[in-house]
Structure 1
């Protein structure tokens, strides 16, 4: 047992800030808010999470958009581009394909219930 309470370090703070702010705030601004050496912070983040902060921010952004799709039960690409703070639709498609492995059109043309099952969100989350 630890005698003192756990104190979050810079990696914990960066992780939390990415989850909280990455939809609307550029990653470089989030990293500056952590008040740590950028190169050390990035290296420790990758070591602890297995992905870079940029990749993690992209995953968080797609998860946010998935929640919107799940709640609305419809896919509107223009809304996704706007809500995800992408520059344009091709930026969204490229980001989606690099994370998921297939284009959004192909992915969402399948039965959405199967997609929910594979995402682990089929139980009413």
Structure 2
């Protein structure tokens, strides 16, 4: 298995990272878990379909797929070798591009053409044209995102400011911390944040805090028990509760197994 990130950015700051994921016969069959880290994605899956299972709902994934914010891990199955090119997006990118309430994408994988046929067709053509040339893929995607017409109003600017603060503090904030920085009531903040990002701010902050902790753990930066307290979990029981929310399994079950995709994208 090869998982590779590219760090090139577009001028509109829609792209967090570009990525490439490929499987060979030696990797198969593969069953792993995908941990959400707060970024929606667009991906093109070349070859046979892959499968995701979230909350006992099975979805077949093939060709162009838009994935919204997930508040919990999903299982991922690969039975055939193949290649995927993808785009990890800024948390507000879907709203800016599609100009729609992105909470409809939460915990979902969508065919792109069901959301915006023209945008989907244009980006699908890029994936197909650039399949065999990584350098050309990066250059063409960046150019395409540089020239998109976007929805950026005052609400988007304010929610972008909130996202910046959440990442700066690694999710270790309270709602009141955001309210001190933004011109909204709590109800208005929660409504606008969910519409533009896909999750409520409270859930998003918990997700970012947890994913930051797991990045540190997978990077072998610090002992797990120290991380639990560093990230403001009052005790192990609170950490275990969040772990089960985001992974759907206990820490004991997780640490007994290998999750190669998680290890790679949390380390990069």
TM range (shorter): 0.7 to 0.9
Of 209, 217, 227, which residue of structure 2 is paired with 1:69?
A: 217
Counterparts of 1:6 and 1:49, CA distance in 2: 14
CA RMSD of aligned residues (A): 2.7
> Cα deviation per residue 1:59-105 (whole Å; 9 max; x = unaligned)?
1111111111111188x442121121111110111011112211122
Of 98, 101, 105, which residue of structure 1 is paired with 2:245?
A: 98
After TM superposition, the structure 1 stretch with the greater mean CA deviation from structure 2, 26-35 or 5-14, is: 5-14
Counterparts of 1:77 and 1:69, CA distance in 2: 6
Q: Match of 1:121?
A: 265
Is this contact kept in 2: 1:23–1:85, CA < 8 A? no
Q: Which consecutive residues of structure 2, in runs of 5 or more, have no partner in the other structure?
A: 1-147
Structure with a larger share of its residues in helix: 1
TM-score if structure 1 supplies the norm length? 0.77
The structure-2 alpha-carbon separation of the partners of 1:27 and 1:38, relative to structure 1 and needing over 3 Å to count, comes to: closer
Q: Which consecutive residues of structure 1, in runs of 5 or more, have no partner in the other structure?
A: none
Which structure would you say has the larger RCO, counting Cα contacts within 8 Å and 6 or more residues apart? 2
The structure-2 alpha-carbon separation of the partners of 1:118 and 1:51, relative to structure 1 and needing over 3 Å to count, comes to: same
Deviation at 1:119, TM superposition (A): 6.2
Is this contact kept in 2: 1:96–1:103, CA < 8 A? yes
Is this contact kept in 1: 2:174–2:202, CA < 8 A? no
Q: Which runs of 4+ in 1 moved over 3 A?
A: 5-8, 22-25
Is this contact kept in 2: 1:22–1:60, CA < 8 A? yes
Within 5 Å, give how 1:1-125 maps onto structure 2. Answer: 9-72=157-220, 76-111=223-258, 115-118=259-262, 121=265, 125=268
Structure with a larger share of its residues in strand: 2
The structure-2 alpha-carbon separation of the partners of 1:88 and 1:67, relative to structure 1 and needing over 3 Å to count, comes to: same
The structure-2 alpha-carbon separation of the partners of 1:62 and 1:55, relative to structure 1 and needing over 3 Å to count, comes to: same
Is this contact kept in 2: 1:93–1:103, CA < 8 A? yes
Counterparts of 1:22 and 1:73, CA distance in 2: 16
